[in-house]
Amino acid sequence: MEGDIRTVHVLISGRVQGVAYRAWTERRANALGLSGWVRNVDSGASGGQVEAVFSGPSAAVEAMLAACHEGPDYAWVERVEVLGRAEPVTGAFTIRTDR
C-alpha cells in the first residue's frame, strides 16, 4: 500500500561533508513529510560519510532515497547504502551533531 510507513537506516558516501549535505537533506526530508535525522560520520573515508534515518510513507522514503543519489550542488555521491530497517521515528526531521 502507498500509505505504509517505512523506516530505513542509510549511509551516504562520497564528497558529502562540507558541502551542506545535511542541511539539504533536512530541507528535502521535511518537504516530503518525513521524520528522522541526519548526521556526519567520522569514518576516515575521503570526503566523508553521512548517516540518516528516514521514516514516513513508503513513496516519500523512496523519493528521498532517489534524491540522496544527487544531493546538493558541490556534493558528489559515490554510494547510498540502505543498512536496513529501523524503528519508526516521529516528529520533525532534524540534523544531529553527535557522531
Give the active site residue among 22, 28, 30, 39. Answer: 22
Q: Is 40 marked active-site? A: yes
* Domains identified in the chain and CATH numbers: 5-83 (3.30.70.100)
Quick one: pLDDT at residue 85?
Answer: 87
Give the active site residue among 15, 39, 40, 85. Answer: 40
Quick one: pLDDT at residue 1?
Answer: 43
The tens-digit pLDDT sequence of the chain (99 residues) is 445 999 999 999 999 999 999 999 999 999 999 999 999 998 666 668 999 999 999 999 999 999 999 999 999 999 999 998 888 899 999 999 876
The single residue listed with the C-alpha cell 521524520 is 35
Q: Could you tell me the pTM of the whole model?
A: 0.90
Q: Is 30 marked active-site? A: no
10 Rama sector, left if φ>0, alpha if ψ -120 to 50, beta otherwise: beta
How many Cβ atoms sit within 10 Å of the Cβ of residue 46?
10
Quick one: pLDDT at residue 3?
Answer: 57
Quick one: pLDDT at residue 83?
Answer: 95
